Amino acid sequence: MQNVTRTIQVSSETQTRQLAATLARLARHGDVILLNGDLGAGKTLFARAFIQALSTDKNIDVPSPTFTLLQNYDVNGTVIWHFDLYRLSDPDEIYEIGWEDALAGGISLIEWPERLDYHIDEINSDKLLTINIKLDSQNPDNREIDLYCGPIPSDKTEHKQSEPAWHERLKSL
Ligand SMILES: Nc1ncnc2c1ncn2[C@@H]1O[C@H](COP(=O)(O)OP(=O)(O)OP(=O)(O)O)[C@@H](O)[C@H]1O
Ligand SMILES: [Mg+2]
């Protein structure tokens, strides 16, 4: 089972952006961040703020990869892979858009990660951070943001660890 490591209530886009920037500073080469949430929850807004926080160009254009499925960015020598898998028709289609390259290095931000299906098992659980963004039916500006760290239940592989796992890194939040 995954454990909820942190639950954060935000009441504005600015607060969501700030959380994204904080997590961007904690992110390391090889990390995979899954962004779950309904349509309009704020996954792209989060990814945009994350990428802008790491880029020297704070206004770098970060379009939603709704139709391209993937946009990548070279940020100070680290590639950020921003996936939106909503339109993935088959989990294996992920290979055609650079899944193996993304797992081999850089930082991946993945919207609609449930479309990966069994490929989720290929992610190193120490490097995995799962973020669930929940809308609030009472207030359009509020979100509940849950952060979950690995291990994930189906991950049976052992990985060599060079950086602290996400649950260690989140202690600074
Ligand atoms: N606290 C908040 N955090 C994030 N977004 C917010 C917040 N309050 C309002 N919003 C609005 O919610 C919308 C989020 O849109 P966004 O495109 O990021 O959603 P998404 O989860 O990527 O949707 P999709 O599943 O269609 O890709 C934006 O219009 C943003 O202005
Ligand atoms: Mg989106």
Instruction: Delineate the domains of the chain, giving CATH numbers in brackets.
Output: 3-172 (3.40.50.300)
Specify the ligand 1 atom closest to the Cα of 112: 25
Report CA(51)–ligand 1 centroid distance (Å).
16
Pocket test for ligand 1, best of 19, 44, 86, 143 (most atoms within 8 A of CB): 44
Report CA(157)–ligand 2 centroid distance (Å).
31
pLDDT value, residue 8: 97
Residue 150, Cα to own-chain centre: how many angstroms?
A: 13
Decide: 143 in ligand 1 pocket, CB within 6 A: yes
Pairing, β 128-135 against β 107-111: unpaired
Query: By percentage, how much of the chain surpasses pLDDT 90?
Result: 79
pLDDT value, residue 165: 84
Reported residue count of the chain is 173
Protein residue whose Cα sits closest to atom 16 of ligand 1? 42
Decide: 39 in ligand 1 pocket, CB within 6 A: yes
Report CA(135)–ligand 1 centroid distance (Å).
9
pLDDT value, residue 160: 52
Judged by its nearest atom, the ligand closest to the C-alpha of residue 50 is 1
Report CA(116)–ligand 1 centroid distance (Å).
22
Query: In this structure, which long-range contacts are made by residues 162-165, counting pairs with CB atoms below 8 Å and at least 24 apart in sequence?
Result: 163/28, 163/29, 163/30, 163/126, 163/127, 165/125, 165/126, 165/127
Distances (CA, A) of 127 to 18, 33, 38, 42, 90: 21, 8, 24, 22, 24
Distances (CA, A) of 117 to 61, 88, 91: 30, 11, 6
Decide: 41 in ligand 1 pocket, CB within 6 A: yes
Beta carbons of 128 and 166 less than 8 angstroms apart: yes
Contacts of 155 (CB under 8 A, 6+ apart): 121, 123, 125
Report CA(139)–ligand 1 centroid distance (Å).
13
If pLDDT is split at 50, 70 and 90, which confidence band does 153 have? Answer: very low
pLDDT value, residue 168: 84
Interval 18-29: pLDDT, tens? 999 999 999 999
Beta carbons of 134 and 144 less than 8 angstroms apart: yes
pLDDT above 80 (res 36): yes
Interval 108-132: pLDDT, tens? 999 999 999 999 999 988 899 999 9
